[in-house]
Structure 1
Amino acid sequence: MLRQVLLAVSRSERAQRVVSTSPLTRDVVRRYVADDIGRAVDELTRRGLLVSVDHLGEDVHDRTQAEGAVQAYLALLGRLPDGSDVSVKLTALGLRLSEQLALDNAATICESAASRGITLTLDAEEHDTVAALHSIHATLRKEHPSVGVVVQAYLPDSVERCRRLEGARVRLCKGAYTAPDGYTSAAEIDRSFARCLRVLMAGTGYPMVATHDPRLIRIASALAVLEGREPTGFEFQMLYGVRPHEQERLAAEGARMRVYVPFGSDWYPYLMRRLAERPANLAFFARSLLSRG
């Protein structure tokens, strides 16, 4: 129930105005959303961590906004080191207007990224975009084999999705949205995540294990060993500002550890979804507010 409430709040303009204008909120947001993307990337890289950068923004409703998102990513690419990744939401590129528009815009970013040694991952969104997400990903892979895509374990077809993505870069996450037939309990989602891990680790693609859950991290590590994967054959991903010591520990042990770094002014929906993804984070963010107050 709390998850549903938080997701509803993430779409509330009134709640956004209240939360966004609080000085305390802005102070906490800076811990989880980079205010200076160049400085944040440099610091993470210095600590031996990889990055995937998300220019926040989604659900644009005119072509000018979509073009603005493309230009923002093209400018961003010039500030990232080789081996970086950019995470792109297709609704920011005009998916709500036209699937072809989103495809064309994603292809433009892919081409520029590839020329700089940077990969692109198509990010997760609402359940009604999943079909278009995978259709666009399949088309892009024909010319850009390294383009990645997200699979959300809360969706009941996630295991089958993983099977169909043989050979691809796949970011596996629990999911921060809802669907009419989606898993809702933590236990169901964790079991689905583990099933997806087994498929991805046994396959020929490149698994990107996006979780902060210690148990799932251990499962992923064990499966990698069982399947004979080298440390370079998969990676862990965690959010900027969340479990930074664990991020450094994994990197120090030789794992590929990538940090998902969001930046930009449109941070409110992102923050609310992070709370909805794991409502226990409410206490974590509350403590952060109190400690800063």
Structure 2
Amino acid sequence: METLRKVLLWASTNRWLSQRLPERRFVRRAVRKFMPGETLEDALGEAARLREEGVPTLVTTLGENVETAEETRESVAEYVRAMDLADEMGLDLEVSIKPTHLGLDQDPQLAVENVGELAARAEGRGTLWIDMEGSFYTEATLSLYRAVRRGHVNVGLCIQSYLRRTADDLESLMEFGPRIRLVKGAYAEPAEIAFPDKRDVDESYLALARRLIDHLGNGGDGFLGLGTHDPAMIGPLSADAGAAGLDGSRFEIEMLYGIGRREQRRLVGNGTPLRVLISYGGAWFPWYMRRLAERPANVWFVARSMFR
């Protein structure tokens, strides 16, 4: 499984594959398991359906490392459109952005301005989430979060338990009463930067989550979103959050569209706060490879799709 994971992560960075494989019908058919379509309307249509099941949502536009300042403005406009349409439809929907989609490669100050504009637009609409990308961007993304957070309480940050530095990073953010989405991490990283052993990644995840649960349970400001499909994380950490008196205003499970539907229904039935992340856009291939790498067993779904 580890070899397969490495192959999938390599594929996520291969330009030739990203140009050729999306043309294959079986690949496009298989990716529908994880995203409803390439347009915002596709994503919001599924958000409306999930609302009927009592599930709020989160959307993100796929695409990283845009090349011009003009493209970053197009990204801002797309997210504003998402928020406005969600309001018109009466959806409980939040937005998650990638820093390199909004100018981090061009100019950190441009990214601050773009993300700050979106955070202002998101006031009263929930959290504006800043995703964490590969480790090359970790320090710059933390700086971006701190700069925007000083003016906007409603901005949140994704952190990755597989990075060795994350425990220290979290401590440095506690002064903000941070809104945190905790994930394990899905980029190819060297062993000196990220834990190579799944057991260590899991232990880090549990420790980081419990640090935040203790903080919130003792009256600290902030929010914890557990980005995971792993029952070994969901069960004990949900119990810890309940014991700490955390409700949906301070804690939730965040799962990906199309993964763990049975578990999602179980959580809703148990009254556990849940939000589902819906991704959309044409630049889906790198993201799709990383989703497969997170759970290589999903490759068998793709294999079956080839022969339908």
Q: TM-score range by the shorter chain?
A: over 0.9
The residue identity in structure 1 corresponding to 2:59 is: V
Q: Does residue 39 of the first structure (1) align with residue 22 of the second (2)?
A: no
CA offset digits 1:82-125 (Å, max 9, x no partner): 542101000001111111111111111111121x5242100120
Matched-pair contact (CA < 8 Å) for 2:48–2:91:
no
Matched-pair contact (CA < 8 Å) for 1:171–1:208:
yes
Matched-pair contact (CA < 8 Å) for 1:84–1:119:
no
The residue identity in structure 1 corresponding to 2:99 is: L
- Corresponding residue to 1:209 among 219, 226, 230: 226
Q: Does residue 76 of the first structure (1) align with residue 97 of the second (2)?
A: no
The residue identity in structure 1 corresponding to 2:105 is: R
| Equivalent-residue separation in structure 2 for 1:149 and 1:207 (angstroms) | 10
The residue identity in structure 1 corresponding to 2:256 is: L
Q: Does residue 192 of the first structure (1) align with residue 200 of the second (2)?
A: no
Matched-pair contact (CA < 8 Å) for 1:177–1:277:
no
Q: Which residue of 2 aligns with 1:128?
A: 136
| Equivalent-residue separation in structure 1 for 2:92 and 2:140 (angstroms) | 27
| Equivalent-residue separation in structure 2 for 1:262 and 1:214 (angstroms) | 23
Q: Which residue of 1 aligns with 2:102?
A: 93
Q: Which residue of 1 aligns with 2:280?
A: 263
The residue identity in structure 1 corresponding to 2:298 is: N
| Equivalent-residue separation in structure 1 for 2:126 and 2:206 (angstroms) | 29
Matched-pair contact (CA < 8 Å) for 1:159–1:199:
no
TM-score between both structures, scaled by the size of structure 2: 0.89
TM-score between both structures, scaled by the size of structure 1: 0.93
Aligned partner of residue 242 in structure 1, secondary structure = coil
Deviation at 1:41, TM superposition (A): 1.0
Q: Which residue of 2 aligns with 1:161?
A: 169
Q: Which residue of 1 aligns with 2:7?
A: 5
CA offset digits 1:194-251 (Å, max 9, x no partner): 1111101111221100100011101211221332323543000000000112112212
| Equivalent-residue separation in structure 2 for 1:42 and 1:61 (angstroms) | 33
Q: Which residue of 2 aligns with 1:64?
A: 70
- For structure 1, which runs of at least 5 residues remain unmatched after alignment? none
Q: Does residue 144 of the first structure (1) align with residue 152 of the second (2)?
A: yes
Note closer, same or farther for the CA distance 1:228–1:129 as it changes in structure 2 (3 Å cut).
Answer: same
Matched-pair contact (CA < 8 Å) for 1:163–1:199:
no
| Equivalent-residue separation in structure 2 for 1:131 and 1:249 (angstroms) | 37
Deviation at 1:62, TM superposition (A): 1.1
| Equivalent-residue separation in structure 2 for 1:231 and 1:33 (angstroms) | 25
| Equivalent-residue separation in structure 1 for 2:248 and 2:70 (angstroms) | 42
- For structure 2, which runs of at least 5 residues remain unmatched after alignment? none
| Equivalent-residue separation in structure 2 for 1:194 and 1:282 (angstroms) | 27
- Corresponding residue to 1:274 among 291, 294, 302: 291
